[in-house]
Chain A
Amino acid sequence: MKRPQPGLITLLCIASLFTVAPLIAVVILALSPQDAPTIPLAWPKELTFDNIVRIVRLGSFPRWLLNSFWYSAISVVVILFTSSMAAYALARKRFPGRNVVLWSIVATLMVPVQTTLIPTFVLVARVDGVNTLWGLILPTLANAQAVFLIRQFIRELPDELFDAARVDGAGEWRTFVSIVLPLVRPILATLAIFLFLWHWNDLLWPLVVGQSDAARTLTVGLASLNTETVSTSNLMAAALISFLPCLLIFVVLQRHIVAGIAATGVKG
């Protein structure tokens, strides 16, 4: 059995300082009074939530927060549901063209999002989807990773399970909803976290398609606050708010994140 070594622990402490200190600075700056000097960084004489309150009340901020929420939440739910259906078909059903479809989907992973940015934008613009929430969400629903990983997972499930369901007279939809979906929950949980993070933190696509407040997400809003004359403490308050949901998800579901990365990295 390995024992903790003091030298290694020291190194890990230094590395952790590198990762965590900037985030602690965000918290301190966000809780410092607006007129307090932000340089050098000092623990403020009094902590205040004024910045948070001010930012949350700022005209468009609630709208951005809500847009980010819908963008992430709807995408996660729709991607997971439709991908599970497709993955079930690709893993368990024989039909002509199955492999062509599977590899066409996986091959799209090779194409950078920037390559399809312009045509996707034009497509959305043509159907008046610019500055709308559905125009923002719809194009991001094509997620090859989700289809591929869920398919890998379903393939490992024992055949007997599906035979038993058939013997019991379960229809295809019943089998999918009450057998497949519950069994693939671990991979769905993992994917849910990452899809949420990717959507919540996404910039380029929301930047080009959500130019007005109607569809502007929090990251785009945050970037715009950065170029405006907002005080550092207010900016950091906004940054902190944008970070909290991600942190909360991580604290609650850490286990799935580690398992999920292990699965994507080693098998992917």
Chain B
Amino acid sequence: MSSQTLSRRREAITGVLFLLPVLVIFVAFKFVPILGAAGMSFTRYRLNGDVTFIGGDNYTRLLADANFWHSVGVTFLYVVLFVPATIVVSLGGAMLLNAVAGSATGIFRALLFIPYLSSFVLAGIIWSWIFRSDGPLNAALGELGPVHFLTGNRLLVLASLAVVSIWKGFGYSMLVFLAGLKAQPAEVYEAALLDGASPRQIFLRITLPLLKPVFFFVLVMETIIGFQVFDTIYVMTGGGPARASFSITYFLYDAGFKFLDFGYAAAIGVALFLIVLVLSILQRRWLEEKETA
């Protein structure tokens, strides 16, 4: 055997050995559970090992389950409230930070980012206090209140929960946008200014198109985050009032750990995956269409 094939083989062996720990972890805790989710969703699954194959029964049951459609509706409404608002807030924050110069940026960047460090549980606790009917926000609203942020109608409750999630999470997307803005070539802006473009034109014709890959990343990421909403609901409303905040993940949690209906809960998890997958594809299509248009 030539020394070259020998070193090739050695390289391959080293590669596999270095990969091995991660591969074992991924097989055990990602690949197996992903296949497991698909498999379990076709069974009636009890923790004591009592497993019955029931074909597509979980899925037909899911499609006929008013609770499921309710949770889908709640989650979509939440996403519609949360995603555009969080993008506006994070892009706005990024543009503000990008527009001011010097040492002030660092301080403001830190101040705007700080809630991202907290947990949704902490955010939920403090905002529950802020949202109280006799709380500081209602005091600030004065005559307009009291507004029942967490005990009112579905729209109000979901909007209030969205505010908490935006407060807690927008810092990450803001920094992603900021990095995207910083990477834009200054010459293009100078040329546009020379041509007498208005700020509005500059934003729509230059900033946004150049930002598109970043925009897509943030849009998909925030949509996925929106569909997974759970922590704030668990802490702030418990799915209520009258199931106003009964999201898909909350439904999954209930089915799995309250009713111990593991097969059904697995099917809900698969449904969530499919919804997120389809939406990601649609969002990509939508942005590509805008490019060719």
**Chain B residues, Cβ within 8 Å of A70:** none
Contact between A22 and B167 (Cβ–Cβ < 8 Å)? yes
Q: Does A74 contact B (CB under 8 A)?
A: no
Please state if B100 and A9 are interface contacts (CB–CB under 8 Å).
yes
Considering the chains assembled together, what is the distance between the CA atoms of A120 and B176 in angstroms?
31
Residue among B19, B177, B178, B257 with max Cβ neighbours from chain A (10 Å): B19
Give complex CA distance A122, B120 in Å.
Answer: 26
Chain A nearest CB from B241 CB (Å) reads: 16
Are A2 and B101 closer than 8 Å at their CB atoms? yes
Give the distance in Å from the alpha carbon of A183 to the alpha carbon of B143 in the complex: 61
A22 touches B126 (CB 8 A): yes
Within 8 A of A (CB), among B245-285: 248-249, 252-253, 256-257, 262, 265-266, 269-270, 272-273, 276-277, 280
| Stretch in contact with the other chain, from B144-152, B154-162, B222-230 | B222-230
Q: Do the beta carbons of B176 and A266 come within 8 Å of each other? A: yes
Asked whether, in the complex, the Cβ of A115 is within 8 Å of the Cβ of B34, the reply is: yes
Q: Are B224 and A112 in contact (CB under 8 A)?
A: yes
CA gap between A243 and B121 in the complex, in Å: 11
Contact assessment for B11 and A95 in the assembled complex, using a CB-CB cutoff below 8 Å: yes
The verdict on B99 contacting chain A, using a C-beta distance below 8 Å, is: yes
- Considering only residues 114-131 of chain A, those with a C-beta below 8 Å from chain B are 114-123, 125
A-side contacts of B256, CB under 8 Å: 117-118, 121, 208
Contact flags B158-194 to A (C-beta < 8 A → 1, else 0) = 0000000001000110011111101100000000000
Identify which of B60-68, B78-86, B102-110, B198-206 touches chain A: B102-110
| Contact in complex: B26, A142 (CB < 8 Å) | yes
Q: Which residues of A contact B134 (CB under 8 A)?
A: 39
B122→A222 contact, CB < 8 A:
yes
A122-B262, A204-B253 given; A94·B93 CB < 8 A: no
Tell me the residues in window 1-52 of chain A with beta carbons closer than 8 Å to chain B beta carbons.
Answer: 1-5, 8-9, 11-12, 15-16, 18-20, 22-23, 25-26, 29, 38-41
**How far is it, in angstroms, between the C-alpha of A3 and the C-alpha of B272 when the chains are bound?**
48
The residue from A11, A83, A125, A204 contacting B22, defined by CB atoms under 8 A apart: A83
The answer to the question of B286 belonging to the interface, with a C-beta cut-off of 8 Å to chain A, is no
Q: CA A22 – CA B118 in complex, angstroms? A: 11
Indicate with 1 or 0, residue by residue over A198-220, a CB within 8 angstroms of chain B CB atoms.
Answer: 00111110011000000000010
Q: In the complex, what distance in Å separates the CA atom of A111 from the CA atom of B119?
A: 22
Residues from chain B with a CB closer than 8 A to the CB of A53 are none
Residue of B nearest to A3 (CB): B101
In angstroms, Cα B123 to Cα A219, docked, is 11
Q: Is B266 touching A12 in the complex (CB atoms < 8 A)?
A: no
A222-268 residues at the B interface, CB under 8 angstroms: 222-223, 226, 232, 235-236, 239, 242-243, 246-247, 249-250, 254, 257-258, 261-262, 264-266, 268
User: Which are the 4 A-B pairs with shortest beta-carbon distances?
Assistant: A93-B15, A265-B176, A119-B36, A201-B119
- Other CB < 8 Å A-B pairs besides A25-B130, A116-B269, 20 of them? A12-B100, A16-B108, A19-B114, A19-B167, A22-B123, A22-B167, A29-B129, A39-B134, A86-B19, A105-B26, A108-B34, A117-B252, A122-B36, A123-B28, A123-B36, A138-B29, A204-B231, A265-B175, A266-B176, A266-B213
